[in-house]
């Protein structure tokens, strides 16, 4: 299908009209999902509502609202970019959702999609006692979504968020401000533990880069819009997580816990740290490759 053919037919007027048309249009292209949505219909909903600055849980009664000519042109162009340029919807509308919260995103940060949102909403029980968590560290914070969500679900805890990329740091700051979390979250620029020397935490969480070199070479076009710095982790995917694990005991309190996502690099990690008793967590809403380790387990088996 040519670019010129990505035009809505006459007679489309409402929000629902453009969602339906956009879903049908995208279905005719070899697109990849998984960056905030996992199917064409949800993708079309996210694009149209995002383009109109409307909430993702818009009441059904508004589906019949008519669009202005300018809105129709804007949405048509965004669907063209999604279909032809394969730009992820979250980047097209500059928003993503994580743990029920809205975040600003652009091409400087990886799109939030970690299953860790489910753990945050459960306050990491039974691995921690929520009331006992006073300090949390989020390594490789990216957009800041994990740090902000942790602050929301642990309102009495202080959160440190560390990011190496200056561009991502600015996005994280924007999201911290968006959620009025400046007094609870300290955002720090630097490499992993370097900015938090001498501090200890009841909970360290991280969704670091963990994509292997082979996986990077095989990424679908949509994922190539994301920053390499937020994905690539060397030949075996352990370039970052190895350091997170090895130094974690120095930054955990006596009963502290490390929770980290490594995705499909799980097998490589288990081979590298053969003695560590990883607890691999299950998720009701899908996802895998997230482990939990107690400080004492790290001390005893590293």
Per-residue pLDDT, 2: 45
Per-residue pLDDT, 23: 96
Domain match, 89 and 117 both: no
Which residues does 89 contact at the CB level (< 8 Å), separation at least 6?
A: 35, 36, 37, 43, 46, 47, 50, 82
Residues 64-90: pLDDT tens digits?
999 999 999 999 999 999 999 999 999
**Boundary (domain end) residue, out of 66, 93, 120:** 93
Domain match, 289 and 145 both: yes
Domain match, 89 and 219 both: no
Q: Is residue 100 part of a domain?
A: no
Q: Is residue 104 part of a domain?
A: no
Domain match, 11 and 116 both: no
CATH code for the domain of 136:
3.40.50.150
Is the pLDDT at 1 greater than 70? The verdict is: no
Is the pLDDT at 179 greater than 70? The verdict is: yes
Is the pLDDT at 39 greater than 70? The verdict is: yes
Rounded mean pLDDT, 105-127:
96
**Boundary (domain end) residue, out of 62, 93, 124:** 93
Domain match, 89 and 114 both: no
Domain match, 53 and 84 both: yes
Q: Is residue 193 part of a domain?
A: yes
90 neighbors 105 (Cβ within 8 angstroms): yes
Q: Is residue 70 part of a domain?
A: yes
Rounded mean pLDDT, 4-13:
78
**Boundary (domain end) residue, out of 93, 128, 154:** 93
Length of the chain: 302
- For the chain, how many structural domains are there in total? 2
State the angle between helix axes of 69-80 and 40-51 in degrees (0 to 180), rounded to the nearest 10: 140
Structure tokens at 133: 């968590």
- Where residue 301 falls among pLDDT bands split at 50, 70, 90? confident
Residue with tokens 């079309």: 44
- Where residue 5 falls among pLDDT bands split at 50, 70, 90? low
Per-residue pLDDT, 113: 94
Structure tokens at 29: 């292209």
Q: Is residue 241 part of a domain?
A: yes
Domain match, 174 and 267 both: yes
> In percent, how much of the chain has pLDDT > 90?
92
Give the chain's count of helices (H) and strands (E).
11, 9
Q: Is residue 163 part of a domain?
A: yes
Find out whether the peptide bond into 238 is cis, omega within 30 degrees of 0.
no
Per-residue pLDDT, 8: 81
Residues 264-280: pLDDT tens digits?
999 999 999 999 999 99
Q: Is residue 254 part of a domain?
A: yes
Domain match, 134 and 69 both: no
CATH code for the domain of 38:
1.10.8
Q: Is residue 13 part of a domain?
A: yes
Partner residues linked to 291 by β-bridges:
260, 280
Structure tokens at 238: 């352990």
What are the two backbone dihedrals, phi and then psi, of residue 13, each rounded to the nearest 5 degrees? -130, -35
Find the domain containing 83 and state its range: 3-93
Domain match, 167 and 230 both: yes
> In percent, how much of the chain has pLDDT > 70?
98
Domain match, 288 and 146 both: yes
Q: What is the pTM of this model?
A: 0.93
Is the pLDDT at 4 greater than 60? The verdict is: no
Residues 146-160: pLDDT tens digits?
999 999 999 999 999
Per-residue pLDDT, 11: 86
What are the two backbone dihedrals, phi and then psi, of residue 75, each rounded to the nearest 5 degrees? -65, -40
């Amino acid at each position: 299908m040519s670019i010129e053919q990505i035009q809505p037919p006459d007679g489309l007027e409402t929000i629902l009209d453009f969602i339906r048309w956009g879903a049908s249009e995208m279905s005719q292209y070899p697109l990849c999902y998984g960056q905030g949505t996992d199917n064409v219909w949800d993708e079309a909903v996210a694009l149209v509502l995002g383009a109109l600055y409307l909430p993702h849980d818009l009441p059904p009664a508004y589906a019949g609202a008519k669009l202005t000519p300018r809105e129709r042109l804007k949405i048509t162009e965004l669907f063209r970019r999604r279909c032809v340029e394969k730009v992820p919807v979250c980047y097209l509308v500059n928003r993503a959702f994580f743990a029920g919260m809205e975040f600003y995103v652009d091409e400087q940060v990886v799109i939030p999609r970690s299953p860790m949102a489910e753990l945050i909403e459960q306050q990491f029980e039974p691995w921690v006692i929520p009331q006992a968590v006073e300090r949390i560290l989020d390594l490789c914070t990216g957009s800041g979504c994990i740090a902000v969500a942790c602050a929301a679900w642990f309102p009495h805890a202080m959160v440190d968020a560390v990011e190496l990329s200056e561009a991502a740091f600015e996005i994280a700051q924007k999201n911290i401000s968006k959620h009025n979390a400046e007094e609870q979250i300290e955002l720090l620029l630097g490499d992993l533990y370097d900015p938090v020397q001498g501090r200890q935490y009841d909970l360290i969480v991280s969704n670091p880069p963990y994509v292997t070199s082979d996986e990077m070479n095989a990424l679908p076009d949509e994922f190539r819009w994301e920053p390499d710095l937020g994905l690539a982790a060397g030949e075996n995917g352990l370039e970052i997580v190895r350091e997170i694990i090895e130094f974690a005991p120095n930054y955990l309190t006596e009963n502290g816990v490390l929770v980290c996502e490594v995705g499909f690099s799980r097998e490589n990690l288990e081979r590298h740290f053969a003695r560590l008793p990883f607890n691999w967590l299950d998720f009701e809403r899908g996802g895998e490759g997230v482990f939990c380790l107690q400080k004492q387990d790290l001390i005893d088996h590293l």
